[in-house]
Amino acid sequence: MGISEACIHEMDSVTEPEYETRELGIPLRIFNSVQKHTCKKCGEITHSIPFPDRLIAAAAVGRCKIALKLAGEEVRFIRKALSESSKDMAESLGVAAETFSRWENDKSPIGPSYERLFRLLTWIKLGELAPAIDFKPTDIVNMKIKAIRSKDDEVPMCFELIRFKVTAEKPTTDAYSEGERKAA
């Protein structure tokens, strides 16, 4: 049980078996992790996602593993996951700020070399926050990026919060793992 910030009454809390959201910037399906809080008095329902920074990192790194061309909203999501301004991200990639803006707004596609560099930068900066995502830089270097898909083909990425021991000397940690699940 918890206390609602909005109505200050006692809350009943349960773990949702499946939760779909776009609130983080791209479609995500999260299993057995999101808490649903219901106010005992007024019935207000809120949700909380544990370790959202790790989920965002896992989603960004996980998306970079998929050999489909990045859509503008995905470029924007990954840039925000990296905590970079579009100007700074453009500078890191060696392109004009206007060019990066066109990528984010689907005005022009990101070129294959820049897309690989963008994906590699994502892994370098966020890989440690997403230890449960199996990722190798060589996978991106050798990746054959497939054409842009239509918005109708959008499929949410699936994640579940897991606990695991990183190494013998480090304690158990929480991380999101990716996976494909079928809705029941």
Domain ranges of the chain: 52-153
Q: Which of 112, 21, 106 is nearest to 59 (CA)?
A: 21
Distance from C-alpha of 132 to C-alpha of 162, rounded to nearest angstrom: 8
pLDDT, tens digit (0-9, with 9 covering 90-100), for 110-157: 999 999 999 999 999 999 999 888 888 899 999 999 886 666 667 678
Give per-residue pLDDT as tens, 5-60: 556 678 899 999 999 999 888 999 999 999 999 998 888 899 999 999 999 999 99
Q: Are 6 and 134 in contact (CB under 8 A)?
A: no
Measured N-to-C along each axis, helices 52-65 and 72-81 cross at an angle, to the nearest 10 degrees, of 130
Topology of the domain comprising 52-153: 434 Repressor (Amino-terminal Domain) (1.10.260)
Nearest to 55 by CA among 160, 137, 170, 164: 160
Q: How far apart are CA 10 and CA 33, in angstroms?
A: 21
